[in-house]
Structure 1
Amino acid sequence: MIEIELPDGSKLTFEGKTSVKEIAGKIAKSLEKNAVGAFFNGELIDIHTPIERSGKIKIITQKDPESLEVLRHSVAHILAKAVKRVYGKDKVKLGIGPATNEGFYYDFDLPTSISEEDLSKLEAEMEKIIKAKETFRREEITREQALELFKDDPYKTELLDSISENEKITIYWLGEDFFDLCKGPHIEHAGMVKAFKLLSVAGAYWRGDSKNKMLQRIYGTAFWKKKELEEYLHRLEEAKKRDHRVLGKQLDLFSIYEEAGSGLVFWHPNGAIIRREIEEWVEKEHEKRGYQRIYTPHIMKADLWKISGHYDFYKENMFFVPVVEHDEEEKLGNEKVPLTCEEVERANWYAVKPMNCPGHILIYKSQPRSYKDLPLRFFEFGTVHRYEKSGSLHGLLRVRGFTQDDGHIFCRPDQLKDEILGVLDYVMELLSVFKLDYVINIGTKPEKYIGSDEAWEHATQALIDALKERGLEYNIVEGDGAFYGPKIDIAVLDAIGRKWDGPTIQVDFNLPERFDLTYVDRDGEKKRPVMVHRAIMGSIERFIGLLIEHYAGLFPLWLAPTQVVVIPVSDKYINYAENVFRKLKEVGIRAKLDDESGKVGYKIRKAELLKIPYMVIVGEKEQESNTVSVRSKKEGDLGSMEISNFLDKILTEIKEKL
């Protein structure tokens, strides 16, 4: 007998194996008709997957967001079948084709290159499969059968090698002439697809490894309704207009030079102004909240990262360098580069820091600490470097070198809740100043972790209690914590609803243990402090990338690299324009004077493209009345103003960060 527990706690029993459809039919005929799949013991399965043991089930329909994974994975298979039809069944080798948060992709090894223009041809072939309502069918096979079926496909045979001996091997058929190595989930038949679109083509190394062959990846998306697809495509168009890489070039904010290294950011003067303004605000807020500014080195001995655990859990993302001490260097000769294997063995190994935590810990350990010293709050703008695969790099949003507004709080256990509340309040202030919406997630213990289960439970509960006290809604994301502790991650929503990684708060009982951190308590005994890792913005690079796209390049006045441009209507009024320009500069306004020859219309269009918040236009009327004609990028033509009134307006706007 199999016992199935429903979400309301009620139970159904079955003799022998059952299915999602059979279970749904026992609940309601309408649910049987609309069931797309289910979560069985937490795993997403489809209606094809047999249920052979007791467990908990939650049936999903098209109304559930999780059903999109089933739909999109299925459309990826429809794409793969279409590609084989168009380019030759025996000529196409299949990589992988998973669903993603935004849609799906499939990787192909093809005899010819696919261009964006070819996508419409593939879409037409996919429509034929959909119109024919070709069915998906699950089949369990033996390893020997699988190896025979995929003997001519090196990618599938490699995937087969990674499947353990006791794991089931399944293929999914689509119609009678296409099958793929796959766990699922899939829809019942292709006719259920009502709205899909192929979006782009890109190169992708097999299994993300640059040592492997470059395959062709086709990206697409799918929704249950055409209206939802249209809305998504509209958001994509908006995203293109807001692309921070395009706007970064247009507004002369930053560059990434391949000759200097992928993923390394160079801030131009305009971008440096934005960064400086943000950093100054952040630093003042830290001072108000009792943080002490510190600085730590960019490289530290590798042994330090072994103590912290980063070497064991994070070394594939770290940069290591052999450093020969001075006396050894003299023996080896300063010109001997690169070092030989023997010389490397004698060298000391250093790591370019991927995080700032160990440096802050060493400063804490530099002297005995008393319970009266705690909480101790350290903060730095810490520049770190992490190895990211070249295919994952993306402008400011995914880089190899970035700066964090990184802070660590060392406190007594009885102070932990108040410290988390203090960080939450700071984060809410940040989000308010930049007028950002957000979603809060709590990441719990991952599969690989350090520390005791008891410490993890204590830390996780402290985060939950703080969020509840502030009345903040949150989601639990199982297994998403750092290897050393649970965390609050706050995803920032931009103007078109996309989520970006932002502030984070992490409670850590483990690094204090590994580094033997102590303080002397009231009773004279040595105790272990609790450590809170927190970044208010996260990566400054990513945060500015987010702001560029959120504001579509039109920054609030206090952040704008050029706040006001003064435009004389002709050369006759340059002297008056210079007078207005000086008055703006005297009160600290970042102003420019456009005194180049040319028509006013051209100068206005240039200022529009540069997204300068205010244009001040002066001519005969303004000179005679000692006024300025003001145009706001946001509000349009504001008419004539006395200079003093205009200064009051913009200085108030800057002060209040409107």
Structure 2
Amino acid sequence: MTDFPADGFALFPDRSVVALRVNGELKDLATTVTADDQVEPVTIDSADGLSILRHSTAHVLAQAVQRVKPQANLGIGPPVTDGFYYDFQVDEPFTPDDLKVIKKEMERIVRENQRFVRRVVTDDEARAELADEPFKLELIGLKGGSAEAAEGASVEVGAGELTIYDNVTRDGETAWKDLCRGPHVPGTRVIGNGWDLTRIAGAYWRGSEKNPQLQRIYGTAWPTKDELRAYQHRLEEAAKRDHRKLGKELDLFSFPDEIGPGLAVFHPKGGIIRYEIERYMRERLLASGYEVVNTPHITKGDLFMTSGHLQWYADGMYPPMVLDEVVDADGHVSREGQEYYLKPMNCPFHNLIFRSRGRSYRELPLRLSEFGSVYRYEKSGTLSGLTRVRGMTQDDTHIYVTADQVKGELTHSLDFVLQTLRDYGLNDFYLELSTKEDGNPKFIGDDTLWTEATETLREVAEASGLDLVPDPGGAAFYGPKISVQARDAIGRTWQMSTIQLDFNQPERFELEYTGPDGEKHRPVMIHRALFGSVERFFAILLEHYAGAFPVWLAPVQVVAVPVAAEYGDYLQGIVTDLKTRGVRAEADHSDDRMQKKIRTHTTQKVPLMLIAGEQDRAGGTVSFRFRDGTQLNGIPVDEAVARITGAISARTLVNTAEDLA
């Protein structure tokens, strides 16, 4: 038996290891293991190590807040992507000046090198120790009911024993404590100086508008100061690329108040980008054996009762409408009868198409595809530009296969997804496997089928050669899924395409096909969405390219700028020729000086500018100017047209002269 030191520093003085994985479970560095245990060190720069670092920093934040504002009540403080947050109930909202004071107090706590010490307590002991913390008392009452707890509350309570973490000073005194499952770094000095507080927000307790509104402080934490600075630089770059900012500057889309939050309208320039995104996707679908269907925006509620959405997804749906008219004996018309819902999903409609007539095994795989508009009642606080909306268009495909075809079709779908994403300019991927959480009533269906589906997805994902990351509990209620995670130009990760196996909906809809034996069989259903939604994909591409789209996606592909007005007709002839070839080309005949025209179109991120003066007109040539200011001069017109159309057909990203050379 090995007893690790209480502070862990004797073993790992360089802070490289912050916790242990013992028999697959994360444990504090100050833990006891036996010779039979499988023990792995958890380094501070690993995914788990970063999460532990950030969770520990959240505790330091909460301790600092209660030093500065002793009457503050504690909510929850989980780690999140790239950082952490902690919620508080305070008399007055936090101000930027408050953050400065809190940050100074956090720095003192870090220097004090308080140890994080774990204690197991009973429910009653926890209630007694945290009697002044009403939200902690509520969490204690939710122990074991993770499905009902607030997002992030799993860091504090779960199905097992309750634990409290004490922050213990060098002289052995408990300086602060919190209900927490851990683990934590050995002591506060491990946190170092690679952290910062980032912003203040409001948040309803347990995510419900019926509950008290708390104050949330966000922060970020990294192993070193240099990594913090690199992250802050990425944030600055991300702010420049924010699709909401670019959408306004480039006149692409807006969210009119008259329509409502989360409901976007696309302007002409944004509309043509969206059209091109969808057009290419439709070409790929048809070439890969998909069949196009179309379904209405509303339906009777019974359809979603059959699919399970009303039981498991009702909170994300708009409330029902009563639309069927009923005429009484006197001829009076009233709107009573069936309840209709705006559809949040397309899959139940596709099931009805499959079921509309008898199906043979010879028709399978049957790949039904639709760019279907769906509507989801997202809470106002979660809406975020085009990445989180209430009305969206999904490139939804549902594939019906025999049991023997499942693995091959999953491989086909994953290959299709990855190649198509590469065509849009995304090339850096890893995969995530989302599985069910044992004991969670959210997940429906037979456990054996879940296991079979999960293992099949795992095999297909591993065969792709991409890294595979587990996502326990992240599956849809009807089945596990693979999601493609793509890194953009500045290294941020976006969840892109999803491929989900579903043994449950074919059962619920009683879908059948006739097999080669003449008997009826149940198909397996695969849900596949490449974009997630067109709106979200639009936003991701806009930020990935910082608005400087490849020529094929650019709303204006070519602008002709004459050196002087007398060369306008010459360039107009070239523009007219380009338009007949399907190129989105314009000639700038405005009264602005040439240099101002160039600045204007550069700001609008036009990929190709054609410039002509006397020498070009006399020689039948034209000059190219590119986004970075480089030029190609004296290019014969026929060659220039060929280069432009070639860049479009090849979906080339053209920013410099070298890109078109």
Q: TM-score, length-normalised on structure 1?
A: 0.88
Q: Which deviates further from its counterpart, 506-515 or 566-575?
A: 566-575
Q: Displacement of 1:480 after TM fit?
A: 2.8
Partners of 1:257 and 1:628 in 2: CA distance:
42
Displacement of 1:220 in angstroms is: 0.9
Amino acid at match of 1:181: L
User: Offset at 1:98?
Assistant: 1.3
Give the alignment partner of residue 430 of structure 2, picking from 434, 439, 445: 439
1:82 to 2:34 alignment: no
Aligned twin of 1:653: 647
The 1:143–1:527 alpha-carbon spacing in structure 2 relative to 1, beyond 3 Å, is closer
Unmatched 5+ residue regions in structure 1?
1-12, 337-342
CA shift at 1:365, angstroms?
0.8
Task: Check whether the contact 1:24–1:32 (CA below 8 A) recurs between aligned residues.
Answer: no
Q: Aligned partners of 1:635 and 1:563: how far apart in 2?
A: 16
Cα deviation 1:476-520 (Å, max 9, x = unaligned): 433332222222211111111111111111122221111111111
The code of the aligned residue for 1:529 comes to P
Q: Percent identity?
A: 43
Structure 1 residues 64, 324: closer, same or farther in 2, change over 3 A?
closer
Deviations 1:371-408 (CA, angstroms, capped at 9, x unpaired): 22222211110111122222221111111221111111
8 Å Cα contact 2:76-2:87 kept in structure 1? yes
Match among 110, 114, 133 for residue 130 of structure 1: 110
Superposition deviation, residue 123 in structure 1 = 2.1
AA matched with 1:217: R
Q: 1:101 to 1:40 in 2, by over 3 A?
A: farther
Compared with structure 1, are the counterparts of its residues 203 and 292 closer, same or farther at alpha carbon in structure 2 (3 Å cutoff)? same
Greater mean deviation of Cα atoms: 612-621 or 575-584: 575-584
For the Cα contact (< 8 Å) 1:613–1:634, is it kept in 2?
no
- Quick one: which amino acid aligns to residue 441 of structure 1? E
Match of 2:410 in 1: 420
Q: In the TM superposition, what is the alpha-carbon distance from 1:649 to its structure 2 partner?
A: 0.5
| Structure 1 range deviating more: 298-307 or 563-572 | 563-572
Question: Closer, same or farther in 2 for the Cα pair 1:51/1:303, shift >3 Å?
Answer: farther
Which of residues 390, 403, 415 in structure 1 aligns to 2:393? 403
Structure 1 window deviating more from structure 2 (461-470 vs 349-358): it is 461-470
**Contact kept? 2:395, 2:530, Cα under 8 Å:** yes
Candidates 382, 386, 393, aligned match of 2:372: 382
Taking the aligned partners of 2:240 and 2:354, their CA distance within structure 1 comes to: 47
Match of 2:90 in 1: 110
Separation of aligned partners in 2, 1:517 and 1:170: 51
Q: Indicate the residue corresponding to 1:121 in structure 2.
A: 101
Aligned-pair distance for 1:21? Answer: 4.5
Q: Do the aligned partners of residues 472 and 162 (structure 1) sit closer, same or farther apart at CA in structure 2, a change above 3 Å counting?
A: closer
Residue identity matched to 1:440: L
User: Given residue 203 of structure 1, which amino acid in structure 2 is its aligned partner?
Assistant: G
- Please, which of 625, 635, 639 is the counterpart of residue 633 of structure 2? 639
How far apart are residue 243 of structure 1 and its match? 0.9
2:87–2:217 Cα contact (<8 Å) kept? yes
Equivalent position SS for 2:410? helix
Q: 1:356, 1:384 within 8 Å by CA — same for their partners in 2?
A: yes
> Given residue 89 of structure 1, which amino acid in structure 2 is its aligned partner?
P
CA contact (8 A) 2:531 2:537 kept: yes
1:492 matched to 2:482 = no
Q: CA RMSD in A?
A: 2.9
Name the CA shift for 1:225/1:317 in 2 (closer, same or farther; >3 Å).
same
2:457 aligns to what SS in structure 1?
A: helix
Once residues 78 and 498 of structure 1 are traced to their aligned partners in structure 2, the CA distance between those partners, rounded to angstroms, is 27
Q: Is 1:348 aligned with 2:302?
A: no
Q: 1:592 to 1:174 in 2, by over 3 A?
A: farther
Q: Are the counterparts in 1 of residues 164 and 177 from structure 2 also a CA contact under 8 Å?
A: no
- Check 1:599–1:331 CA distance in 2 against 1; reply closer, same or farther (3 A cut): farther
Q: CA deviation at 1:557?
A: 0.2
| Alignment coverage as a number of residue pairs | 629
Letter in 1 for 2:105: E
1:365 aligns with 2:359: no
Distance change >3 Å, CA 59–CA 402, structure 1 → 2? same
Distance 1:258 1:45, change over 3 A: farther
**Cross-structure match for 2:657:** none
Deviation per CA, 1:49-97: give whole Å up to 9, x if none: 77899965433232533112221112112222222333x313x222221
- For residues 628 and 417 of structure 2, the distance between their equivalents in structure 1, rounded to whole angstroms, comes to 27
Give 2:204's aligned amino acid: Y
What secondary structure sits across from 1:66 in the alignment? helix
Identify the residue that residue 67 of structure 1 maps to in structure 2.
Answer: 49
- Counting only pairs closer than 5 Å after superposition, residues 202-213 of structure 1 correspond to structure 2 as 202-213=201-212
Higher mean displacement: 383-392 or 644-653: 383-392
Structure-2 residue corresponding to 1:550:
544
2:290 matched residue in structure 1: 291
Secondary structure of 1:355's counterpart equals coil
1:415-452 residue CA offsets vs partner (Å, 9 max, x unmatched): 22222222122112212212311111222334442222
Q: Does 1:453 align with 2:447?
A: yes
| 1:339 match | none
SS in 2 for 1:538: coil
Structure 1 distance, partners of 2:460, 2:57, is 43
Tell me the TM-score normalized by structure 2. Answer: 0.88
Partner of 1:313: 312
Matches within 5 A, 1:189-200: 189-194=187-192, 195-200=194-199
Partner of 1:38: 20
How many angstroms does 1:569 deviate by?
3.1
CA 332–428 in structure 1, closer or farther in 2 if over 3 Å, else same: farther
Partner of 1:4: none
Q: Residue 141 of structure 2 corresponds to which residue in structure 1?
A: 161
SS at match of 1:36: strand
What's the CA shift string for 1:222-278, capped at 9, x where partnerless?
Answer: 112222212211111111111111111111111123432221121111111111111
Give CA-to-partner distance per residue, 1:160-193, whole Å, 9 cap, x none.
3323698425243354443333333222222222
Bigger drift between 53-62 and 530-539 goes to 53-62
Q: What letter corresponds to residue 183 of structure 1 in structure 2?
A: R
Q: Unpaired runs of 5+ in structure 2?
A: 145-158, 653-661
Contact 1:20 1:38 in 2 (8 A): no
State the Cα deviation string for residues 602-622 of structure 1 (Å, max 9, x = none): 222211111110112233333
1:153: Cα distance to partner?
Answer: 3.6
Residue 653 of structure 1, CA deviation: 0.5
* 1:566 matched residue in structure 2: 560
Q: State the 1:575 CA deviation.
A: 2.9
Aligned residue for 2:259?
Answer: 260
